[in-house]
């Protein structure tokens, strides 16, 4: 059995990870850490876990984790993970970090977009970007994974086949992204109060959202050239889910069928990517680790329009982290994740 610890177990992503781990046949949860709820049972905070995960939450401690764990998931805010992960890594633990702290290849890009100084740049150089569909072989050999978030996962996978195959112009890509409220985390904030976010929709951080840089990093690697794009996120009144609509100009005319064939070839061996002949909906992936992708061609403008959707808490966080763990320990990639969405 793989001995697993989760630091930050009572946030949305951490709690979802615990739920998934409870159904994973090859893992044993040995530590659950929460600064806020230390001393209380996990099942007292999340009563859906009563009788399933009654572990007492504790304060994070690197020495205890080293003694009890083979791998640790850190579901902590960015800027908080640095020092904890430095200690864990020094003790020989495999670490999968759900913050943005270890997702970047260039420390200057991270510090510019996050506005903080990175505490351990030497580890940033060792970390692997944990998007399994693009970096599978590197992930298998890694000891530190920067687990991608929801906007980035959906946006990158939605455009990857087009960019990798040189099908689209790279100078004017536009991504319009929408997220459910759980994407903002479990902390209290005025903008996520029910009365503030229900029956409305709003754009935020236009042209300044930090995930822009992460999307650009990965698409630039696929394209073999620097890509700068426009990314606009929106908050929509639903609990969970991401839907992105992506616009790119084609280098030459293509039919919808030709482009779908490119996608189907690119993702032919991917368990969790479903290429659709129709356009995807959030309800069909909620509660699952799947990515649904569809597209159409605007022949008047010679432009492709891609629509992709994921569950922000699963493929956009906890499920992706579990997928990374499976790769690290040479397990079937789908172990603990092979379930359909809720649908309704």
What residues act catalytically? 150
Distances (CA, A) of 164 to 84, 221, 233: 36, 9, 24
Dihedral, CA of residue 163, residue 164, residue 167 and residue 168, to nearest 10: 10
Cα separation values, 73 from 76, 154, 316, Å = 9, 21, 15
Numbers of helices and strands, H then E, in the chain: 12, 13
Whether residue 135 contacts residue 329, with contact meaning beta carbons closer than 8 Å, is answered with no
- Here the tokens at position 135 are 């970096």
CB burial of residue 236 (10 Å; 0-12, 13-18, 19+): middle
């Amino acid at each position: 059995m793989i001995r697993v610890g989760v630091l930050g177990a009572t946030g949305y992503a951490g709690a979802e990870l615990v739920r998934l781990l409870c159904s994973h046949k090859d893992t044993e949860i040995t530590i659950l850490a929460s600064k806020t709820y230390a001393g209380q049972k996990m099942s007292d905070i999340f009563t859906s876990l009563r009788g399933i995960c009654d572990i007492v939450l504790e304060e994070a401690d690197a020495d205890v984790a080293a003694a009890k764990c083979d791998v640790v998931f850190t579901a902590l805010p960015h800027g908080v993970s640095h020092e904890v992960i430095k200690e864990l890594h020094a003790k020989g633990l495999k670490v999968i970090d759900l913050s943005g702290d270890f997702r970047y290849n260039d420390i200057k890009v991270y510090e510019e977009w996050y506005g903080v100084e990175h505490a351990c740049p030497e580890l940033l150089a060792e970390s692997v970007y944990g998007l399994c569909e693009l970096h599978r072989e590197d992930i298998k050999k890694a000891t530190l994974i920067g687990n991608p978030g929801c906007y980035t996962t959906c946006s990158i996978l939605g455009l990857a086949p087009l960019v990798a195959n040189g099908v689209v112009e790279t100078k004017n890509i536009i991504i319009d992204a929408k997220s459910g409220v759980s994407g903002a985390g479990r902390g209290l904030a005025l903008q996520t109060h029910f009365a503030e976010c229900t029956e409305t929709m709003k754009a935020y951080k236009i042209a300044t959202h930090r995930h822009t840089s992460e999307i650009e990093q990965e698409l630039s690697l696929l394209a073999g050239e620097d890509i700068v794009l426009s990314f606009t996120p929106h908050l929509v009144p639903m609990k969970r889910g991401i839907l992105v609509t992506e616009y790119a100009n084609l280098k030459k005319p293509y039919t919808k069928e030709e482009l779908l064939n490119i996608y189907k070839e690119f993702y032919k061996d991917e368990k969790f990517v479903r290429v659709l002949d129709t356009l995807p909906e959030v309800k069909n992936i909620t509660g699952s680790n799947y990515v649904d992708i569809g597209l159409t061609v605007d022949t008047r403008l010679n432009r492709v329009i891609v629509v992709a959707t994921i569950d922000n808490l699963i493929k956009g966080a906890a499920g992706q982290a579990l997928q990374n763990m499976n790769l690290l320990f040479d397990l079937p990639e789908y172990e603990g994740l092979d379930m359909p969405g809720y649908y309704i």
